[in-house]
Each structure stands twice: as C-alpha cells, then as structure tokens.
Chain A
Amino acid sequence: MKNEHSQAVDQFSRRKFLRGGLLGTASVLGLAATISEASQDIGKSSGELHHAPEFTGPGASPYWNAVGPIVSEPQKAPLILLTDRPIQLETPRHYFLQPFTPNEAFYVRWHLETLPNAVNLQEWRLTVNGNVDKPLTLSFPDLLTRFKPVSIAAVNQCSGNSRSQVQPRVPGGQWGNGAMGNALWSGVKLRDILDAANVKPGSLQVQFEGLDRGKGPLGLGSERFMKSLDLKDPILDESILAYSMNNDPLPMLNGFPLRLIVPGRFATYWVKALTSIRVLDRPDDNFWMKTAYRIPDTPGGSTTPGEFKTGKVQTVPISRIPVRSFLIAPDGSSKIPAGLPIELRGIAFSGYGGIKRVEVSHDGGSSWQEARLGENLGRYSFRTWSLNWTPKEPDKYRISVRATDEKGNTQPDTPVWNPGGYMWNTIEHQEIVVGRAS
C-alpha cells in the first residue's frame, strides 16, 4: 500500500526529474516520462535519491547535513560546501561512525578570507607578549623540543552547529549537524608557554590571533579575528597548542602549523594558524569577544525573538559545549525488513566532562532503553554508543537518542533559540521505516 507520504515523495521526485535542465526537446521529454515512471516503481520500496534543494527554510531544515554541493578543497576529502571565500565546509554524516574524525574529513570554518595557502616554518614564529615579564618568540623546533609534548582527544564543535534547525531561522552559516569533529591533538601545554613568559600580576585575559586577515578596514572585526580566555579560567590548564592532529600535521584548512585546543569549549576559541598570544591587563573589547559569539545569559542560552527584541536580555560570551548525542546509522535513507537484527550506532559528547549514559527510544520518547557505550577515549572525546534492535512489526518508528554527562546534564526535548543560532542540543529524532519481510 502506498501512503500519502510516499506518494508525495514520488510526485516530488517526478517533478524534479521533469524539470531537469538536460531535457530540452519533446522527444527527450517523452523518453524521460517513461524512465521516470519506471524509476517510481523501484523508488517506492527504497530510499530514492533526490537532489537536495539549494537552500532550506523558512521552516527547520529536514536534513541531517547542510545542503550544498560536494567540493574538493586542498588536503580534503569531498565535503559539503557552505561557502568558498572564506571557506566553510561540513563533514558528511557517515564519518561520525568512528570516534576520531579523519583530518581529511574534518569540517572547516574560517571568518576572514585572507587565510594561509603556504607557511614557511623557517620564518614562522609564535610570539608571546603583552603583560609578561619575558616576551617570547618561539620557532616550530622550539615548540617540538623545548616543551614537554602532551596529547588529548577533544571534540571541536562550531558554535553554530545545527543552525539550520532553529525556528525561526536566523542568518549565518546554515550548518547541518556536521560542523563538529573529534581528534587526538598533540602539542605543548598552554600553561607551560605562559609560565615561560611569566605573566605579570594584575593580568586579566590572554588573547589569541592567527595568520588570517580580512579585507575590512584595519582593526575592525572584518580585518582581524581574535579570541580571549580569562586567565583565572581553569580550562587554561587543560588547553594545548597543537602541532599535530590525529598523529599527522594539521591540514592547512584546520590551522597548520599550530592551533589552540580548548577542550570542552566551542570552536570559536580554537584559534587556527596561531601566531600570537597576548596577555591583557583589561578585558578584550574586540568585535569577536564584545559583540559576536555571545549567548543569552539564560539556562541553555535560549530566549525568544520577542524577549530579545525588548533589549533586556543580558548576554555572555559563549563557552562550554552542552551535552549532545546523535544517531548516525541507520540514517533513514533505506527501509529495514521486519525481523532483521540491526545495530543502532552513534556518538555522544559533552563539554562538561565524560558521557555517563546514552538512552534510545523507539517510540518517540515514551520509553527509553540504555545503549552500550564504546571505549572511553577521554572526557572531552566523542563516545561511541550502540544498541541492538530487531524491529518486529512493519511500521514507522521514531528513534530518539539522548545523552547524560557525568555532571548529570541531559539534553532538552525543547528547542533552543537565540539570535546567533548557537548552542543547539535538543534531543535528535530519526524516522526509520520498517517494511514487511514477506
């Protein structure tokens, strides 16, 4: 039996097909109609591929990933293009079946268009100055040899990951869920560098800047990208300056030769192509701290368009990644025969520490079943999870997944909204269609 939804899908793909740009003449159209009808018969029983539209909205995007062409960028596997200058690329869903995201598939997000194409390590230096007793100028070999190497597995998630889910939609990079990745980062401790420079008493913040520049007027946010952390923030003891990513050099697009790693914090702080560290005796008032990347000072960073318009909503710089989890496979693109044992697989993570529990619901959230957790690779890493499932009856199932971290934080079932489209961590749902086996 054909239900209303599949009829709608069939008609949609037929229309798309008939509208295809290659079909120029009446005779071709006639042939196309025949092919289209034949493919409809096949399409009914499996996830028929259709090209995603060029944009989504004004409703929430119905897709897991961003819509956009697949492109090849230097050192990268084919990824989903959001923008080409400056470059923003999203990681396709299937890469998250593994706990570490390969370097060539790791998402990319730059703010300014004059980003590095080449770095000469003979000339390249990391400078540490500002409110310090001993300003430093460190070469790449200095970092490799003068400081103790350390490694940490940590999730890097864009502040605007999943922005295409928020309602009402907000302007900005229209990310699906793939503006995140997990890697083993190796380098030197930020604290060791700060100690070597000897931070002066009375210092407030430490500011980071990379090699990227924009075409805007000097000093504005369109010319320079800088981020700062409070010197009293305990995350400074866990932060590292990474020269290696998954035991390889960083790809140019992910910040070669050196990147700041701030475990558990949103990626806006993970300054790429890092070249300058400044210790400040005043709060950083540059655009990227004072104006951008701020969230309402409310639980979960959420507010409403109406409240925000009153101008009374206080904001704070975005900081920790709230707990999240995803079902990666199956992805809903194919039907599953009733009675076939399958494995639901996914990932979970939290900026507040390790994942304590992942639960799965097959009935849209009425009842929950605990999933098996994969290997613990560190409290800031992706944690894989899996759960065996044998759907007994043909039906449409709404699979939901929610994680709880070691601090007891769990995902909300209510949507998140703020004008930046940040902090989305609502429970994810995936429709899975189970068909008859005979």
Chain B
Amino acid sequence: MQKPTASRGKLLLAFALLSTAIAASAVYAQFQAGSYSSANPGGIAQVELANTSTDSTYGIGSYPLYRANLAPGDGLQDVQVYCSICHSTGYITMQPPLPADTWNAELTKMEKTFGAPIPDDASQRILHYLQSHYTTETRKP
C-alpha cells in the first residue's frame, strides 16, 4: 500500500491539535467547559462526593467519551481527525443507511455552513469512506 507522506504529516499535525483540543477544556472566569475523558459503556457510575467544599463552584467532573465502532477502510483516519474536531464520530455510526448524495450534502454542510477546515484531498477521502460504508447499499450490520 502506498502511503502519501505529505498528507500523513498533515494528519499527524491535525491529530496533535485535536488531542490538545480535547484534553484542554476551556476555563472561563465563571465556568469550566468541554472536559471529556475516555470511558467504556456498561459500567454504572457510583455517586461520590467529589468536592466537599462549600465554595461557590458546582462541578461534575469530565464527561465520558466512548469509542465509536467505525468501519475499517480507506479514509478512516481522515474521518477520525477532521470530523472529530467538532463532534464524536458516533454521529456517523448512529445514522440509518443514507443515500450517497445525502452524505455528500452532509459533508458540504460541515464544510460550507459549519466551516470545518478539511483540505480538499482529505474531504474527497472522507466522502469516499462514508459512501463506501454508510449507504443503503454499503452499510454492514
């Protein structure tokens, strides 16, 4: 298999940026937001008094992240890098099988309406990946 090194470098950079984005939650004067940490489904969280201070801060810790069960295939890495900037990839696996042109419209919405910074070559690979695994014809149970 060929490995285009230039785009791989870009991917690695995007990975680095993304992991920073997820790890470092935003801290504002009045609140803290966007903190997630990985978890496995199925466990029941037990109630703990994490903060017994009577100060004015009301916090609940990080939100759990679960690994989406994405189909293996070309373009998977681009999906994990670029789609994950704004949302988890569970947004993809949750969908019913959709027509190929609906995936095109979704990707266009993410780029044009929501401003997702996806390079053209990655965008093409993402569309190909979605259409190869998540249409009525291609989705596997």
- Nearest residue in B to A86 (C-beta to C-beta)? B87
Q: With A117-B62, A171-B102, A252-B60 in contact, do A213 and B94 touch (Cβ < 8 Å)?
A: no
Picked from A73, A117, A173, the residue with its CB within 8 Å of the CB of B33 is: A117
Instruction: Give the CA-CA distance A217 to B86 in the complex, in Å.
Output: 10
Write the nearest CB–CB distance from B112 to chain A, whole angstroms: 10
**Is A57 positioned at the interface, with any CB of B under 8 Å from its CB?**
yes
Q: With A119-B58, A216-B116 in contact, do A83 and B34 touch (Cβ < 8 Å)?
A: no
Pick the 6 closest A-B CB pairs, nearest first. A57-B96, A118-B59, A114-B34, A74-B60, A123-B30, A72-B45
Within 8 A of A (CB), among B108-141: 113-116, 136, 139, 141
Q: Tell me which residues across on chain B come within 8 A of A61, comparing CB atoms.
A: 96
- Chain B, residues 81-104, CB within 8 Å of chain A (1/0): the string is 000011110110111111000100
Write the nearest CB–CB distance from A28 to chain B, whole angstroms: 22
**Is A125 positioned at the interface, with any CB of B under 8 Å from its CB?**
yes
Q: Which of B26, B42, B114, B116 has the most CB of A within 10 A?
A: B114
Interface size class of A (residues with CB under 8 A): 35 or more
Q: Tell me which residues across on chain B come within 8 A of A122, comparing CB atoms.
A: 55-57
Q: Tell me which residues across on chain A come within 8 A of B41, comparing CB atoms.
A: 69-71, 81
Q: Which of B32, B58, B66 has the most CB of A within 10 A?
A: B58
Contact status B56-A213, CB under 8 Å: no
- Chain A, residues 215-258, CB within 8 Å of chain B (1/0): the string is 11100111000000000000000000000000001001000110
- Chain A residues with a Cβ under 8 A of chain B: 53-58, 61, 68-75, 78, 81-87, 113-125, 164, 169, 171, 173-174, 211-217, 220-222, 249, 252, 256-257, 273, 275, 287, 291
Q: With A122-B56, A169-B96, A215-B85 in contact, do A117 and B61 touch (Cβ < 8 Å)?
A: yes
Q: Tell me which residues across on chain B come within 8 A of A81, comparing CB atoms.
A: 41, 66, 90
Instruction: Give the CA-CA distance A267 to B95 in the complex, in Å.
Output: 22
9 contacts between A and B (CB under 8 A): A71-B39, A81-B41, A81-B90, A84-B88, A87-B63, A117-B25, A215-B86, A216-B114, A249-B58
Write the nearest CB–CB distance from B78 to chain A, whole angstroms: 17
Contact status A119-B31, CB under 8 Å: yes
- Nearest residue in A to B136 (C-beta to C-beta)? A58
Contact status B96-A164, CB under 8 Å: yes
Instruction: Give the CA-CA distance A124 to B85 in the complex, in Å.
Output: 28
Contact status A57-B56, CB under 8 Å: no
Q: Tell me which residues across on chain A come within 8 A of B73, comparing CB atoms.
A: none
Contact status A83-B56, CB under 8 Å: no
Contact status B96-A56, CB under 8 Å: yes
Q: Tell me which residues across on chain B come within 8 A of A220, comparing CB atoms.
A: 113-115
Picked from B30, B85, B88, the residue with its CB within 8 Å of the CB of A83 is: B88
Contact status B96-A114, CB under 8 Å: no
Write the nearest CB–CB distance from B59 to chain A, whole angstroms: 3
Contact status A84-B64, CB under 8 Å: yes
